[in-house]
Amino acid sequence: MTARTNVAASTVRPLSLGEILDRAVTLAVRNFIPLAAAFVLVQIVNSALYHQGHSVSSVFYSMAFAGSDIARSEARSPFLWLSAGFTFLITPLSSAALVILGARAVLGERLSVGSAYRKALARWPSFIAIGAIGFVAEQAMFIGPILILGRILNWIGHGNPLLSALVLLIGLAATLMVIAATSSIAMIGYAAAYSFIVEGRGFFNGVIASVRRALNRSSRRQTIAAGAALFAIMFGTLILEGAAMGISVDLFRAPALGLVATGLIFVAVVPLLTMFGAVYYFDLRVREGGVEPIVSGFSDPVRTSQRA
């Protein structure tokens, strides 16, 4: 049996969330160097732009928490437009390369960063579109719950205790619903990205197929659970990055050291996120059709033919 067939034979049954995470961690560690190498240059540029204090994410947070005047002030910075161009045009190319590497890693193939980037060029436009959707979903995943909880905590201090408790419970439920919805959208985005590469689907066809697969009866609970795990990974990453920056600034008075530390933390997490998305996508395909999609449908994970 070939390496691909061996991998196929080992993944022909639906996996639990724990098994998906276990397999993702194993593959991320095994293929860490090429996966990190495919993203490290992008992260260096991202860190440099963030160091200027103006990024697309910062404008979102300013609009949500600091007011529109500050957001408009940030929007006038040339660094913001440079950051936006890089975030929405260049980063998707590295995302496509990572997806190619992730698919090959699951199939047990040799990984080549240069080959992945060459293949990624054919899928660049689709990744620009799905990257914009994913960016908005990720921002909403964190901004939405903070806004909801902030408004609730501000209100309950001035109301009847019993009514305040009820509002708090409703607010917590709404927060969980927002997290579940946005993180599930993010997981569907992962599935769509892999469908562009693995199956050669176009943007709309890939998104529709991924929504159908992720939300059908056999997969919707897995999608919500995987989304919760994604939220936990990203939230944990934010905490680590915040701690690294805080220690660098407060203890060592070295903001540049903090940028390096946070960049390294994210580069270390990217391989895990890549493989988590890959294993999740392959699990969706198994749930959809069993052995046959693994053996035949994944026979060429980087083909560039277009589908209607």
User: What confidence tens digit (pLDDT) does each residue in 124-153 have?
Assistant: 999 999 999 988 888 888 888 877 777 777
Question: 72: how many CB neighbours lie within 10 A of its CB?
Answer: 12
- Computed over every residue of the chain, the mean pLDDT equals 82
Residue 61 has pLDDT above 80, yes or no: no
Written as six digits, the tokens of 81 are 């437009």
Q: Is 253 helix (H, G, I), strand (E, B) or coil?
A: coil
Which of 259, 168, 188 shows the shortest CA–CA distance to 230? 188
Cβ pair 84, 46 in contact under 8 A: no
User: How many of the other CB atoms lie within 10 Å of CB of 99?
Assistant: 29
Residue located via tokens 């936006």 = 84
Mean pLDDT of 255-281: 92
Sign of CA dihedral 10, 16, 17, 21: negative
CA angle 21, 24, 30 (to 5 degrees): 140
Which residue, 232, 233, 273, 264, is CA-closest to 101? 273
- Residues 144-168 as b/e (b if ≥16 CB within 10 A, e otherwise) read bbeebeeebeeebeeeeeeebeebe
74 and 59 Cβ atoms separated by less than 8 Å: yes
Radius of gyration of the chain, Cα coordinates, nearest whole angstrom: 20
Task: Count CA within 13 A, CB hemisphere, residue 61.
Answer: 9
Q: What is the pLDDT of residue 1?
A: 41
Structure tokens given for 56:
């697309």
| Structure-block tokens of residue 202 | 């176009």
Dihedrals phi, psi of 12, to nearest 5 degrees: -90, 5
Q: CA dihedral in degrees (267, 273, 274, 276; nearest 10)?
A: 150
Check pLDDT > 70 for residue 2: no
Give the predicted TM-score (pTM) of the model: 0.85
Instruction: Say how far apart CA 171 and CA 185 lie, in whole Å.
Output: 21
pLDDT on residue 256: 82
The 10 Å Cβ neighbour count of residue 60 is: 18
Q: Higher confidence at residue 7 or residue 265?
A: 265
Q: Phi first, then psi: what are they for 290, rounded to 5°?
A: 80, -140
Q: Give the mean pLDDT of 39-55.
A: 71
> Which of 25-34, 105-114, 155-164, 268-277 has the lowest average pLDDT?
155-164
Q: What is the pLDDT of residue 157?
A: 59
Instruction: Round to the nearest angstrom and report the end-to-end CA distance of the chain.
Output: 33
HSE-CB of 226 using CA atoms within 13 angstroms:
33
Beta carbons of 291 and 14 less than 8 angstroms apart: no
Is residue 105 within 8 Å of 275, Cβ to Cβ? Answer: yes
